[in-house]
Structure 1
Amino acid sequence: MRLSESQLREFDEQGYLFLPECFDDEEIAVLREEADAIYRQTRPEVWRESSGAPRTAFAAHTYSEPFRLLGAHPRLIEPVEQLFGEQLYMHQYKINAKAAFDGEVWQWHQDYGTWARDDGMPEPRAMNISVFLDEVLPINGPLMLIPGSHKQGVLAAAHDTSTTSYPLWTLDHATVAKLAEAHPIVAPTGKPGGVLMFHGNLVHGSAGNITPYGRKIVYLTLNAVSNYIRTPTRKDWIAHTDFTPITPVDDDALRAYARARRRIAA
């Protein structure tokens, strides 16, 4: 899947691109079922909220076949290769949940700020590309973005280790208010199967979820191979040190897996 010239311009100007209905119901169903099974596991890669509800599951592509297939899917890999002009490796992979009633905040931040400070990533040539597994609504903690904020470079941040179970390099209120004054906040929403891609320096965050409607989003952080991390400080299942270029799978790989699993179950 290649981006059009107008999509490339939009990404350059806004710092993000939303592609609705990128994956179909059959593909999403097998991923949603697998995500729920992973959240029930007790393993170090699965982090939880203070309530015990799932918050994120790291590195699912290393222990789950459907998420391995998603992590090498051409609908996700090809647009980023097009933007960067080179092959990619997986810097980080996570399935983030906003559990019904108990999903906590993700504070305002830039992802590249963390990748640079904690992992030694030389340049913001890594891309977050996310897949909606559930419907993302205006009310259930959607990701909020400040369009154009990626053009501000790396902003000053403080290391917040106490607000939630996940430490994060966060921006102060004055910085966020100034950015939002110039570029009003947006929150892309949509049905399962939508794909959101955004620049590593785009300022973003999400509010808590106090509704009965949980939502799960898969995040792939695809890094240009030449931009591999130099000084990793985090566990390998959080910031990967396998810099092998990703070889895309067939476009039909997830559907084929889902059909094979149904045959075995029958």
Structure 2
Amino acid sequence: MKLTPEQVEFFHREGWLFLPELFSQEEVDFLAREAVAIYDADRPEVWREKSGAPRTAFAAHLYNEAFGVLGAHPRMIDPIEQLFGEKVYMHQFKINAKAAFTGDVWQWHQDYGTWKRDDGMPEPRAMNIAIFLDEVMPINGPLMLVPQSQTAGDLKASHDLETTSYPLWTLDEETVTRLVKQGGIVAPTGKPGGMLMFHGNLVHGSSGNITPYPRKIVYLTLNAVSNYIRTPTRPDYIAHRDFTPIQTVADDALLRLARAPRQAAE
């Protein structure tokens, strides 16, 4: 799968790109069932809100076959290699839950700030690419992006260890206000199967979810192989140490797996 010249130009200007319904309903339903099974498991990779509801599940591609296929899917990998001009490896893989009624906030932040400070990533040549497993609506805590904020570079941030169950390098209100006045805020929404990609320096966050509608999103953080992390401090299930370039699977691999008899995820 290749991006069009118009899509590439939009991404470089705005710092993000949304491709609606890139995965079929059958593929997404399969992944959503697997995600629920993972959230129900007692694993160190599954982090929970202070309420006990699941917040995020790390490294599912290493212990779940369905997400292993997704992590090597050409619809995920090819656009990033096109933009970077080189092969990529999996720096991080997570399934964010944003549970109904209890899903907590993700404060305003840049992802590269964490990758640099906590993992020793030299440059912002890594990118998040996300698949919606549920419908993302304006009311159930969609990801909010500040367009063009990637051009501000690596911003000063503070390490927030208390607000939520997951520590983040967060931005102050003055900085966010200044950037929003320049670029505004967008909140991409859409049906399950949509794919969102955004620059590692793009400022983003999300509010809590107090609706009955869950908002599960799978995030692949793909890093250019030449930009491998130098000084990781986080567990390897959060910041991977395997810098092997990803070899993509066939485009129909996820569908074939969904239709094959198999045991449910443990």
TM-score interval (norm. to shorter): over 0.9
Equivalent residue letter for 2:35: A
State the partner residue of 2:255: 255
Is residue 12 of structure 2 the alignment partner of residue 12 of structure 1?
Answer: yes
State the partner residue of 1:92: 92
Equivalent residue letter for 1:148: Q
Deviation at 1:132, TM superposition (A): 0.1
State the partner residue of 1:33: 33
State the partner residue of 2:162: 162
Equivalent residue letter for 2:116: A
Whole-angstrom distance in 1 between the partners of 2:146 and 2:217: 19
Deviation at 1:124, TM superposition (A): 0.3
Q: What is the DSSP-based 3-state SS (H/G/I as helix, E as strand, rest coil) of the residue aligned with 2:211?
A: coil
Deviation at 1:72, TM superposition (A): 0.3
Is residue 186 of structure 2 the alignment partner of residue 153 of structure 1?
Answer: no
Q: How does 1:1-266 map to 2 (within 5 A)?
A: 1-261=1-261
Q: What is the DSSP-based 3-state SS (H/G/I as helix, E as strand, rest coil) of the residue aligned with 1:261?
A: coil
Deviation at 1:261, TM superposition (A): 2.9
Equivalent residue letter for 2:205: G
Whole-angstrom distance in 2 between the partners of 1:159 and 1:261: 46
- Runs of 4+ with >6 A deviation: none
Whole-angstrom distance in 2 between the partners of 1:131 and 1:179: 26
For structure 1, the residue ranges without an aligned partner over 5 or more in a row are none
Whole-angstrom distance in 1 between the partners of 2:32 and 2:89: 24
Q: Deviations over 1:95-145 (max 9, x none)?
A: 001111000000000000000000000000001000000000000000000
Equivalent residue letter for 1:184: G
Whole-angstrom distance in 2 between the partners of 1:111 and 1:148: 15
Whole-angstrom distance in 1 between the partners of 2:134 and 2:113: 28
For structure 2, the residue ranges without an aligned partner over 5 or more in a row are none
Q: What is the DSSP-based 3-state SS (H/G/I as helix, E as strand, rest coil) of the residue aligned with 1:131?
A: strand
Equivalent residue letter for 2:233: T
Deviation at 1:158, TM superposition (A): 0.1
Equivalent residue letter for 1:196: L
Q: Deviations over 1:181-218 (max 9, x none)?
A: 11110000000000000000000000000111111000
Q: Deviations over 1:218-241 (max 9, x none)?
A: 000000000000000000000000
Q: What is the DSSP-based 3-state SS (H/G/I as helix, E as strand, rest coil) of the residue aligned with 1:202?
A: coil
Q: What is the DSSP-based 3-state SS (H/G/I as helix, E as strand, rest coil) of the residue aligned with 2:260?
A: helix
Equivalent residue letter for 2:232: P
Q: What is the DSSP-based 3-state SS (H/G/I as helix, E as strand, rest coil) of the residue aligned with 1:98?
A: coil
Deviation at 1:15, TM superposition (A): 0.1
Whole-angstrom distance in 1 between the partners of 2:21 and 2:192: 7
Whole-angstrom distance in 1 between the partners of 2:135 and 2:105: 18
What root-mean-square deviation, in Å, do the aligned CA atoms of Structure 1 and Structure 2 show? 0.9
Q: Deviations over 1:62-85 (max 9, x none)?
A: 000000000000001000000001
TM value normalised by structure 1: 0.98
